[in-house]
């Protein structure tokens, strides 16, 4: 029963649509009616500016991190899969699912990147930090958020595997973490289907001022 309560609370926490709340509360607009119509931080940034976009990004990260973080205060037992890492991942994944399928916005939430970042900061900070570094490098090379996000998604399981090879830890924990990261990577690509289509058509939006590679070789 304890794990069911944790999972439910995590889903509810993840489902809070901060992009919609901030757009309506402080800008008197519905972000779902503008741009890509997504409630995520990227669309908020494009439509409402960097202050609103950064606020949504930080809040979406927190709602992925907070359930995992709080779990360690309420219990030290592996409630699921007989694994501490497995339990934390399950709690974090529920927050991600809540973000993507938020009942507060008719189950049409964001793409989950920031919430995944938050949950993995609470589970595997080294791996997600390296994957985030990859995100930054790709973003500074292309100026395209979607390409950067998908690149980080590919890099994440590679980082987990590399760390295990260099500094082996308990194999069961490694397999659970790697499997979850692979699934999350697939989810990232699924939620970016429309972006992939726009990339194929050459119509994907980009932040040109961050495209340093283009400026260098211009």
Q: How high is the pLDDT of residue 130?
A: 94
The boundaries of the domain holding residue 166 are: 124-218
Same domain, 89 and 194: no
Q: How high is the pLDDT of residue 44?
A: 93
Q: How high is the pLDDT of residue 212?
A: 60
Same domain, 117 and 129: no
Same domain, 202 and 102: no
* CB-CB contact of 94 with 184 (8 Å): no
pLDDT in tens, the chain (218 residues): 677 888 899 999 999 999 999 999 999 999 999 988 889 898 999 899 989 999 999 999 999 999 998 887 776 665 555 567 888 888 999 999 999 999 999 888 888 889 999 999 988 999 999 999 999 999 988 888 899 999 999 999 999 999 999 988 888 889 989 999 999 999 999 989 988 999 999 888 887 766 665 555 45
Q: Give, in degrees to the nearest 5, the angle at Cα 19 between 18 and 22.
A: 75
Model confidence, pTM: 0.85
- Which of 98, 123, 148 represents a domain boundary (last residue)? 123
Tell me the CA distances in angstroms from 116 to 57, 61, 99, 208, one per residue in order. 12, 7, 10, 26
Distance separating alpha carbons of residues 182 and 216, to the nearest angstrom? 34
For 126, residues 6+ apart whose C-beta sits below 8 A from its C-beta are: 159, 163
Q: How far is CA 20 from the centre of its chain?
A: 17
Distance separating alpha carbons of residues 160 and 176, to the nearest angstrom? 11
Q: How high is the pLDDT of residue 11?
A: 95
- Which of 123, 140, 157 represents a domain boundary (last residue)? 123
Same domain, 80 and 138: no
Same domain, 182 and 116: no
Same domain, 60 and 21: yes
Same domain, 102 and 147: no
Same domain, 105 and 128: no
Same domain, 103 and 146: no
Q: How many domains does the chain have?
A: 2
Same domain, 58 and 90: yes
Q: How high is the pLDDT of residue 81?
A: 58
Same domain, 145 and 206: yes
Same domain, 23 and 66: yes
- Which of 68, 98, 123 represents a domain boundary (last residue)? 123
Q: How high is the pLDDT of residue 16?
A: 95
């Amino acid at each position: 029963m304890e794990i069911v309560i944790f999972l439910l609370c995590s889903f509810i926490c993840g489902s809070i649509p901060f992009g919609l709340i901030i757009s309506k509360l402080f800008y008197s607009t519905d972000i779902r009616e503008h741009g890509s119509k997504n409630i995520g931080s990227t669309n908020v940034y494009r439509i409402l500016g960097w202050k609103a976009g950064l606020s949504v990004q930080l809040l979406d990260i927190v709602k992925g991190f907070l359930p995992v973080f709080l779990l360690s205060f309420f219990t030290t037992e592996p409630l699921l899969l007989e694994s501490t890492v497995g339990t934390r991942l399950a709690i974090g994944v529920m927050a991600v699912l809540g973000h993507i399928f938020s009942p507060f916005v008719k189950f049409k939430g964001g793409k989950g990147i920031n919430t995944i970042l938050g949950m993995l900061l609470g589970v595997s900070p080294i791996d997600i930090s390296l994957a985030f570094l990859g995100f930054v490098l790709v973003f500074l090379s292309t100026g395209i958020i979607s390409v950067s996000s998908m690149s980080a998604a590919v890099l994440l399981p590679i980082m987990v595997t590399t760390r295990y090879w260099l500094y082996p830890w308990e194999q069961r924990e490694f397999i659970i973490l790697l499997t979850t990261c692979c699934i999350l990577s697939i989810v990232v690509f699924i939620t970016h289907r429309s972006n992939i289509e726009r990339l194929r058509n050459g119509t994907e939006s980009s932040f040109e001022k961050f495209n340093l590679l283009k400026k260098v070789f211009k």
